[in-house]
Structure 1
Amino acid sequence: MTITKPTTTEPAIEPFLDQLQAQSTTHGCNLSELYQRRISGALNDNDALNRHRERNLDDDTVEQLKEKIERSGVEYLYYMLPTLRSRTVAKMVPAKHIVRNLEKGVNFTRNALMDFQNDVFGNPIGADIHAKEFVAMPDPESFDALPWDNQVGRIFCTAYEPEHLGAIGGRPNALDSRANMRRAHQLLKDVFGLTMRSGTEPEMVWVGESITPRTIPGYNPAYQVEYLEGMRPIYKRVHEYAGQLGFDMIEGDYEDRGQIELNWMFDEIERTADRVVTYRQICSQVAREFGVEASFMPKPFLGEMGAGCHHNISLWDEDGNNTFAVPGKTELHLSQLGRWAVGGIIKHSPGMMLIMASTVNSYKRFWDPGQFAPARADWGLDDRASSIRISSNGRAEVRVPDASVNPYLSHALLIAAIADGIGNQIEPPPAGALGADLPRTLGEAVETFRASDFVRANLPQELGDVYLEMKANEWAQYCGVLTQWEHDQYWQAIP
């Protein structure tokens, strides 16, 4: 497919469009089709585990990691992976075994990546008692000492099928959402010459007797310094730990009763997603230290703001230029390449909703009017009512993801939608135009996800099947619960 430059009434230079045309010519095909072919075949790599092992055992890699561990004083290591439900599982291994584990990895029960979840009938989801273990190979560059106990460190891992499993031995484990995102991002770089950078806005609620604010009925406490002051010990400790783990913390504010948002500098999505997971662990630790509770529940209170995790995304070319902005253009705008990217996201937003808003509680955000939660697939220029907001030149704020999101799955699907949008030149509707309704319950999102050939094609089949089963089961569990609302409505409704 030939990349055509749009006709405009004013001169606007977008040099990357020429590069994109060259990429298409070099490959001799539609770039989105090339991306799709490669992503579908990425799991069929029986040498993936062996290559990871060889990288780990590079002499410089081994010596540098051993030196970091010795200098840090770490004696125990958490070998960690994210689960599909956006939690984290780990094994603790004495740090003295690091060289052995760089070669052999550590073995996990397969059910761990699904949080050992059972369905409503008590059957394990995704793996039963006969399921084989997987090998978790450490990623040396992800090592860090935990600031709250410098004798304990962590290292992220990548999951593989054991080499003894015949035809699939040595391949990437399809249920590893972190590795899936990293593969998708590498393909975006290889096929389109683009790198995605992202900054997230992790809103959350803190509850405890020592930090309970006295608010004025009918007034929202957002941004008021008095309430931020009440959270001073909390945010100072979070900043302290985050800084020691390599975060560049930039700003924060008080948003609603007990809700604060602390942001860090945007980066390539691998670092951003890992930091989202790490940030949640930091907050949990800080809560323990202060005797309070820290919650990433998307909608803990009606009539108050929900907890979002907006993704502020941008695409950068190989020369370090932000392709979402037109050079020299100062008024608020989105480049042609950016509009195609937004067009792809809008087109596939309904099918991606199960990933972006992944719990029963997520959808309560969209039923509470006046709380800035978008419920349509649309975009606008500095418009908080839209699901995609162009808040400044060079970035698009995707506003649907909430505090419970799996950041690896969300970024992977945004890459896929963007690849489709750019490769097929999908024009979005005009900025500010009313978009299509998004699913409004987890049940609707389950069925929309099930029916989306595009979304299912851009996730490993096993991952998509298991995730769908987990979320359909979550909806079934919710439908089987009696609530106080039902008693209030129906206990004496008749006669």
Structure 2
Amino acid sequence: MKDLKTGGRFGAHLREVLADTSAFDRHREANLRPEVLAELGEKIERTGVKYIYFAVATLGARTVAKVVPAEHYKRMLGKGIAFHRTALTDLQTSREGELIGGGIDAHEFWGLPEPETFQQLPWDPELGRIFCTAYDPPHLGKDGGRLIPLDTRALLRVAHQGFTERTGLELRSGLEPEMTWRGPGLEVIAKDDQSPAYQVENLEKMRPIFKKVISYGQFLDFNMIQGDYEDDGQIELNWEYDKAEITAQRMTTYRQICKQVARELGVEASFMAKPYNGKMGNGCHHNLSLWRGDENVVEDGRVELHATETARNAIAGMLLHTPGSMLVMGSTVNSYKRYWDAGQFAPSGADWGLDTRGVAIRISANGRMEYRLPDASVNPYLSHIYLLASIEHGLEAALDPGDPGQPTPEIADVVVPNTLGMAIDAFEADEYLMGAMPEELTRIFLQLKRDEWARYCGQITQWEFDQYWEAIP
């Protein structure tokens, strides 16, 4: 594929979208249409919502929001919600004291509400939520009115639109968010070397938790489909797959649901990638399929497990760019402890296979590619953006992954980072992905991750003390 350094057509499209200074005005005009105002007003009145969270997704996969009395919704639709720009980078200060993402003098951004995302929250019927898109304010002149690339939720939406326009395909995904709960009554007793997975007695201990999580999810239009107990305090609850941006939004909402349930039940809920040694980490497998209208092109009717030619091209793209995307898929220092703990079903190489759990991409059922590298702390908007770029490269260049266990030389040479430091280097070294993504996004993401790695490297751990305090002569 030509123009690797510029990220091909994927990168060109995003640069064009992000240069559009009329984006804010078009969004505001759409918000103020009489039928839009009337529809949102009717929903607010019908549900009885009195307070609304106007929310924006951050680069670190969190949600920031302001709460506004519901009667001011018309004003918010036209004016937007002002946040300090560094809210998009989680208001993180570097070790040197710099507020990452612009510093204390950074200008505000305006979050324009998306009225179609209004939902009443199930744990308090007087509370609602609306997602917003982040823009540079129009008053900034020639730089104003643009979509901010640090708003990964909005960036996924436009990236997916461009991908579909160029390929004719839509990416659909279903996630498997594992997470760990702890608190009174959740302790597990098991024989040595025996897994507590699937046992109904352990599910029973989690019954108050999964009942609330499932019911809250259903209230918020999740089609909850199944769940299981996997390791000490670890459960996985799944919902039906959908378009990538819908699935990603549900993942961030799912985290909020779980944190709320934990508060109500007096327990703790964590999406930390690897809480314990010798126990399974919290993965977030992405089950991916590509659709042309109502046709899943990863499926062709054969009964035996297989990958279609389109799926093989997509798999090759994802595997080739595994090193460059690992900083997104495993975004914390702790993420890489998941890959080091042998025998816990976490992949560590750029390989693929048919119904085997030790590979990066698994074909467990025809029509679905299970990408197993992301963990539960992942920013799902960002992971899907990087997967879209990688898949498009694979499709356009007709890349070949080889057969399971017999990779092509190009794929066989891929080395997957196994520390955050290595992932930072690999992220920068991938010319295609660096060219495909907005410069501001990669620059600030790197600044955040370098700071995190430096903080970790500068810590003296108990392991070091135990190893070296007495042992060094």
Give the TM-score category using the shorter length: over 0.9
In 1, are the aligned partners of 2:8 and 2:432 still within 8 Å (CA)?
Answer: no
Deviation of the 1:36 alpha carbon: 3.4
Question: Could you tell me which residue of structure 2 aligns to residue 257 of structure 1?
Answer: 232
Give, in whole Å, the separation in 2 of the partners of 1:233 and 1:115. Answer: 32
The Cα offsets for residues 146-188 of structure 1, whole Å up to 9 and x where unpaired, read as 1000111111110011001111111101211111111110001
Deviation at 1:99, TM superposition (A): 1.0
SS in 2 for 1:149: coil
State whether structure 2 residue 447 is matched by structure 1 residue 473: no
Aligned mates of 2:246, 2:191 — CA distance in 1 = 40
What are the residue-to-residue correspondences of 1:385-404 with 2, within 5 Å? Answer: 385-404=358-377
Distance 1:262 1:489 in 2: 40
Gaps of 5+ in 1: 2-31
The equivalent position to 2:304 in structure 1, one of 331, 341, 353, is 331
Identify which of 165, 175, 193 aligns with 2:150.
175
Taking the aligned partners of 1:478 and 1:439, their CA distance within structure 2 comes to 17
Contact in 1 for aligned 2:275/2:281 (Cα 8 Å): yes
Q: Partner of 2:4 in structure 1? A: none
Determine whether 1:313 maps to 2:288.
yes
Match of 1:355 among 328, 337, 358: 328
Q: Please say which of residues 309-318 and 431-440 is displaced more in the overlay.
A: 431-440
Q: Deviations over 1:304-324 (max 9, x none)?
A: 000000000111003x10010
Indicate the residue corresponding to 2:56 in structure 1: 81
CA distance in 1, matches of 2:67, 2:31: 19
- Quick one: which amino acid aligns to residue 238 of structure 2? N
State the shift of 1:415 in Å: 0.4
Q: Secondary structure at the match of 1:211?
A: coil
Shift of 1:40: 2.6
Q: Using the alignment, how far apart are the partners of 1:386 and 1:494 within structure 2?
A: 40
Q: Is the 8 A contact 2:100 2:448 kept in 1?
A: yes
- AA aligned to 2:221 is G
1:289-340 CA distances to partner (integer Å, 9 max, x unpaired)?
Answer: 110000000000000000000000111003x1001011x3121111111111
- Select 1:414's aligned residue among 387, 401, 410: 387
Contact 2:306 2:366 in 1 (8 A): yes
RMSD: 1.2
- SS state of the match for residue 56, structure 2? strand
* TM-aligned CA deviation for residue 133 of structure 1: 0.5
C-alpha distance in 1 between matches for 2:106 and 2:431:
28
1:375-394 matched pairs, under 5 angstroms: 375-394=348-367
Partner of 1:42: helix, strand, or coil? helix
Structure 1 equivalent of residue 71 of structure 2: 96
SS of the aligned residue for 1:92 comes to: strand
Question: Is the partner of 1:68 in helix, strand or coil?
Answer: helix
- Structure 1 equivalent of residue 469 of structure 2: 491
Q: Name the CA distance, whole Å, in 1 between partners of 2:53 and 2:418.
A: 38
1:442 corresponds to which residue?
A: 420
Indicate if the aligned counterparts of 1:40 and 1:457 stay in contact, CA closer than 8 A.
Answer: no
| Letter matched to residue 112 of structure 1 | A
Say whether 1:366 aligns with 2:344: no
Are residue 60 (structure 1) and residue 35 (structure 2) matched? yes
Counterpart secondary structure, 2:185: helix
TM norm structure 1: 0.92
- Kept in 1, the 8 Å contact 2:10–2:436? The answer is no
User: Take 1:154 and 1:196, find their aligned partners in 2: how far apart are those partners?
Assistant: 26
- Corresponding residue SS for 2:402: coil
The answer for the alignment partner of 2:197 in structure 1 is: 222
Aligned residues: 463
Note the C-alpha offset of 1:252: 0.2
Question: Mapping of 1:180-219 within 5 angstroms?
Answer: 180-219=155-194
For 2:132, the equivalent position in structure 1 comes to: 157
- Residues of 1 paired with 2:16 and 2:266: CA distance? 49
| Amino acid in the other structure paired with 1:337 | T
Q: Which residue of 2 aligns with 1:11?
A: none
Amino acid at match of 1:121: E
Paired amino acid for 1:432 = G
Report the equivalent of 1:14: none
Matched, 1:452 2:416: no
Task: Compare 265-274 and 453-462 and name the one that shifted more.
Answer: 453-462
1:8 corresponding residue in structure 2: none
What are the Cα deviations for residues 223-270 of structure 1, in whole angstroms up to 9, with x where unaligned?
Answer: 111101110111001011100000000000000000000000000011
Q: Which amino acid aligns with 2:18?
A: L
Q: What's the TM-score once normalised by structure 2's chain length?
A: 0.96
1:119 pairs with 2:133: no
Give, in angstroms, the shift of residue 33 of structure 1: 3.7
Give ranges in structure 2 of 5+ residues lacking alignment.
2-6
Confirm or deny that 1:429 pairs with 2:397. no
SS at match of 1:157: strand
Specify the SS of the correspondent of 1:377.
Answer: coil
Q: 2:313 aligns with which of 316, 340, 353?
A: 340
* Structure 1: 4+ residue segments shifted above 4 A: none
Q: Report the Cα distance in structure 2 between the residues aligned to 1:383 and 1:214, rounded to whole angstroms.
A: 29
Which residue identity is paired with 2:423? Answer: A
